[in-house]
């Protein structure tokens, strides 16, 4: 039993160094994994921005179709009452068209704001991923330094 203790004392710096090297490798893997997660989050946010843009296109087409039908009904109602399509009847149609353009502008603005928010989320996710990777690298350097210190202070490399 007495021989086991000097062997452990001799092996301890190598065990500590080996453990530190494994920890460094694991820290790198964790950093890479966290960066991959954040890159995926960024991709999802960018896809959501594209979805918002496509939804705007669909909503505008639907709005235009509904507006054309509304204007047709309004024109029909004006003409059915025996009123000429001039004066107040024409002002109603013109007012409807102005209001429609305003509504479309609001839809476009809201869509652009939402798209910008999604792109910003993507950028922030990428920054978080890069930060996670940098923190992992710092941890790796710490573990590698620990391994070197363990070997140097053990006297293994004494001449």
Q: Which of 138, 143, 152 is nearest to 18 (CA)?
A: 143
Domain for residue 159, yes or no? no
Per-residue pLDDT of 113-142, as tens digits, reads: 999 999 999 999 999 998 988 888 888 888
| Residue 97: partners with Cβ closer than 8 Å, 6 or more residues away | 71
Cβ within 8 Å of residue 128, ≥6 positions away: 38
| 60 within some domain | yes
- Of 146 and 118, the one with more pLDDT: 118
Does some domain include residue 91?
A: yes
Q: Which is nearest to 17 in space by CA: 154, 156, 155, 150?
A: 150
Q: For residue 134, tell me if it sits in a domain.
A: yes
DSSP-derived letter for residue 84 is -
More confident residue, 94 or 152: 94
Residue with tokens 């690298």: 137
CB-based burial of residue 5 (10 Å sphere; 0-12 exposed, 13-18 middle, 19+ buried)? exposed
Has residue 158 been placed in a domain? no
Say whether pTM exceeds 0.75.
no
Q: How many domains does the chain have?
A: 1
Identify which has the larger pLDDT, 23 or 43.
43
In whole angstroms, give the CA distance from residue 42 to residue 27: 22
Does residue 10 surpass a pLDDT of 70?
no
- Kindly state the percentage of the chain with pLDDT values over 70: 87
**Domain that residue 140 falls in:** 4-153
């Amino acid at each position: 039993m007495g021989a086991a203790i000097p062997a452990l004392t001799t092996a301890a710096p190598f065990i500590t160094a080996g453990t530190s090297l494994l920890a460094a490798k694991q820290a790198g893997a964790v950093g890479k994994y966290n960066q991959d997660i954040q890159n995926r989050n960024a991709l999802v946010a960018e896809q959501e921005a594209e979805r918002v843009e496509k939804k705007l296109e669909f909503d505008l087409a639907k709005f235009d179709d509904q507006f054309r039908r509304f204007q047709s009904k309004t024109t029909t109602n004006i003409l059915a009452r025996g009123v000429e399509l001039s004066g107040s009847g024409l002002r109603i149609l013109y007012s409807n068209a102005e209001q429609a353009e305003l509504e479309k502008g609001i839809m476009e603005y809201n869509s652009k704001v939402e798209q910008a928010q999604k792109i910003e989320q993507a950028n922030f996710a990428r920054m978080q991923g890069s930060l996670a990777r940098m923190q992992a690298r710092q941890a790796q350097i710490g573990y590698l330094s620990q391994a070197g210190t363990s070997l140097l202070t053990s006297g293994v490399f004494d001449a």
